[in-house]
Each structure stands twice: as C-alpha cells, then as structure tokens.
C-alpha cells in the first residue's frame, strides 16, 4: 500500500513538472527572432507523455481506491472478527467460571459428605469405647463377685467338712457307747456291773 502511494506521488510530481514545462514553453514562444525554445514535435511528444502519465496516474489512483476499499473492508471484517473473538473469550470465561463454581460446589459437597462420614465413625467409635468401658467394669465386678462367692463357698465347705467330721466322730462315739452298753448288759446279766467311762460328744 505504501509503495503504491509512493508511485502515485512520483507520477503526480512528474505530471506537475510537465505541466509547468508546458506552461513555460508554448509552441510559439521564442526569444526575440531566435529559434523557439520548444519544438512542436517535442511539445507533442511531451503532451503524449503527459497524457500517458495522467492515464497511469488515474489507473493507479483507481487501483489505490480499490485497495483502500478492500483494506477498509478487511479492517471492518477484522473489527467484526475481533468482536466475535471478544465474545468468544467472554463465553469461555463464563464457562470457566461456571466450571470452577461447579468444581467448588462438588468439592464442598464431597467435603460435607466426608465430614458427616467422619462424624458418624467418631460417634460410633465413642459409643463402642463407652460400651467397652462398661463391659470392662461389668467383667471386673463379675470377677470380684465370683471371688466373693468362691471365698464364701470355701468357707461353707470348710464348715461342712468340720460338721461332717464332727458327725462322723459322734457316730463313732455312739457306736462305741452302744458296744459298751451291750457288753455291760451282758455282764449285768452275768452278775457283774462294770464301770462305764464317761464319753463326751462334741
């Protein structure tokens, strides 16, 4: 574009120079009675060159205008594409924000679910530990009660053993007394009365 403008400017300068030359050198202009400054053939050739340059200038101007129109059209299209690009960027940003919000929401939901699960597990563990403590207390109390019952049972067995021994001793004494009574009765029947030893039963 800049090169075309330079060419047009160069042609315009050449045409202007030719126009000045033409104005300064008419075909009838002479210096006194001398030969004309510009010959008619040279003037015709100069006019033809000027017409050619003017035509070239018009063509280049037309090309320049076409290029300018095309450039303006391209700039308009670029502006439109820039608008579309900005709109797409805004849409992408909106989608990114929505995705981030969705991720944050899902993360918060997951954290809440995890927190609830942890709370439930901790509550279950607390209840299990409390039940374990109660069970340990019950076991301890049961062992103490069993020890008391075993001691009581041993005491009772000792008493029963002592009673059994005493009863056995009493039965032996009773048996011996019965034998003595029989012998005494036999001797009494025979006319003799033996002395009986006293026997105490405890």
Least confident of 18-27, 79-88, 130-139, 147-156: 18-27
- Please determine, for residue 201, whether its predicted confidence score (pLDDT) is greater than 50: no
- Please determine, for residue 37, whether its predicted confidence score (pLDDT) is greater than 80: no
CA-based angle 68:70:73, to the nearest 5? 110
Query: How confident is the prediction for the chain on average, in pLDDT?
Result: 78
Residue ranges of the domains in the chain?
A: 2-108
Q: Which of 13-22, 62-71, 129-138 has the highest mean pLDDT?
A: 129-138
Long-range Cβ contact pairs of 187-196 (< 8 A, separation 24 or more) = none
Token pair 């103490």: residue: 144
DSSP string computed for the chain = -HHHHHHHHHHHHHHHHHHHHHHH--TT--STTS--SS-HHHHHHHHHHHHHHHHHHHHHHHHHHHHHHHHHHHHHHHHHHHHHHHHHHHHHHHHHHHHHHHHHHHHHHHHHHHHHHHHHHHHHHHHHHHHHHHHHHHHHHHHHHHHHHHHHHHHHHHHHHHHHHHHHHHHHHHHHHHHHHHHHHHHHHTT--PPPPP----
Rounded-to-10 torsion of CA 184, 185, 190, 195? 30
Segment 144-196, tens digit of pLDDT: 989 889 888 889 888 889 998 989 888 888 888 888 888 888 888 886 555 55
- Please determine, for residue 29, whether its predicted confidence score (pLDDT) is greater than 50: no
Segment 72-89, tens digit of pLDDT: 888 888 888 888 888 888
pLDDT, average across residues 122-134: 91
Q: What is the pLDDT of residue 46?
A: 64
- Please determine, for residue 4, whether its predicted confidence score (pLDDT) is greater than 80: no
Longest dimension (CA), the chain: 229
- Please determine, for residue 48, whether its predicted confidence score (pLDDT) is greater than 60: yes
Q: What is the DSSP letter of 194?
A: P
């Amino acid at each position: 574009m800049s090169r075309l403008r330079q060419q047009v400017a160069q042609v315009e300068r050449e045409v202007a120079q030719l126009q000045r030359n033409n104005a300064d050198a008419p075909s009838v202009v002479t210096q006194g009675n001398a030969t004309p400054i510009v010959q008619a053939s040279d003037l015709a050739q100069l006019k033809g060159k000027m017409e050619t340059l003017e035509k070239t200038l018009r063509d280049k101007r037309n090309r320049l205008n076409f290029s300018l129109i095309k450039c303006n059209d391209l700039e308009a299209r670029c502006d439109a594409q820039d608008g579309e690009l900005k709109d797409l960027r805004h849409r992408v940003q909106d989608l990114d924000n929505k995705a981030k919000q969705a991720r944050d929401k899902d993360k918060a939901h997951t954290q809440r679910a995890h927190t609830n699960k942890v709370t439930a597990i901790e509550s279950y563990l607390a209840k299990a530990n409390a039940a374990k403590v109660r069970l340990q207390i019950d076991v301890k109390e049961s062992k103490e009660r069993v020890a008391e019952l075993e001691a009581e049972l041993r005491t009772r067995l000792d008493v029963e053993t002592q009673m059994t021994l005493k009863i056995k001793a009493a039965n032996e004494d009773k048996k011996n007394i019965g034998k003595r009574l029989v012998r005494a009765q036999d001797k009494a029947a025979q006319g003799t009365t033996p002395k009986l030893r006293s026997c105490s039963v405890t």
